[in-house]
Amino acid sequence: MSENRRPTAGKRVGKSRTSKVDGRSGARSKRHQDVENRIRDRKFSGENFSKVNAERKGKEGGEDSTAKKDGGFERRKPFKSKKKFESQASIEKRVEKDGIRLNKFIANAGICSRRDADKHIVAGSVTINGKVVDQMGYRVQPGEEVKFDGTTIQAEKKVYAVLNKPKNFITTKDDTHGRRTVMDLLGGIGKVRVYPVGRLDRNTTGVLMFTNDGEMTKRLTHPTYGVKKMYHVTLDKKLSQSHLEKILEGLNLEDGIINVDSISYVNNAPKTEVGVEISSGKNRIIRRIFESLGYEITKLDRVTFAGLNKKNIARGQWRFLTQEEVNFLKML
């Protein structure tokens, strides 16, 4: 090494570098060149550190059994907390004791989603034991009477079902004109209150889902989520190739541009029958698409909805969804 070259910051060779401490050149290095001074410094540092730890432990109360002493210094084992697992029975017991948040209670009753429930709460639409509760975060306790717009509601177990809807049934819970509704077809579902997810008009048949899960209903019907539906359409005359391509390109109706995801002729059937897959949830959208081109739909059947189908379900019959189907819908 050259005499004029400064030592690097890497591994040192030979004697310690000199340094300036309080303006005195070499004061630091000279002290540490003395072996006895270095030993004395280390011993003092260790004793002082142990003393501080002892005082701290005395204040906290007791010796730490996990500590090990090594040359006056104290080493500690890494602290590992035991993970506490809570059983389902314990969770249910805790929920029963602590109550359930009001917006979740309303959603469980099938009224609406939690977000919409918060709006109704602030608007003063909810009463508990006869008193208006307009503060979010309230927890409903067992035995309390909850009313929504004057009607008593209950937090019910989530139920999911699918119906193969026949013709001449109205998709509504009640009908003021005394017509038959889809609710008349749900015999045997129990006392739980469920509601249709979306609508099928009176003459449309096929897949119709029911649930009391307000949040899922909103996801499956809100246009933001783009839930797909497949329809089997039967027309009064053959659909021309040019009109099929025009539908695929997008039609400009009175409420804007309407696009379908796919459209094709049904295999081994006359060209009066086509399959249409669409994400739009606008009212009577399939009928309006073909009516705008001069066609009349003689039969309209919804084959699938959000991945659900009517396989092995006779017309007018229904079944509960499997857990796998429910899990799939929750991921949409």
Q: Which residue has the tokens 């602590």?
A: 98
- The residues carrying an active-site annotation are 201
Phi, psi of 305 (to 5 degrees): -145, 115
Whole-Å CA distances, 89 to 95, 96, 139, 189: 10, 11, 20, 26
Q: What distance separates the 2 farthest-apart alpha carbons in the chain?
A: 109
Give the number of other CB atoms < 10 A from CB of residue 198: 16
Handedness of CA 188, 189, 195, 196 (dihedral sign): negative
Tell me if 110 sits within 8 A of 195, measured CB to CB: yes
* Residue of 228, 175, 170 whose CA lies nearest to 196: 170
DSSP 79: P
- Helix locations, 61-150, DSSP H: 88-98, 102-108, 114-122
Supply the DSSP string of 148-201, one letter for each residue: ETTEE---PPP-EEEEEE-SS-BSSS--TT---BGGGG-TTS-S---EESS---
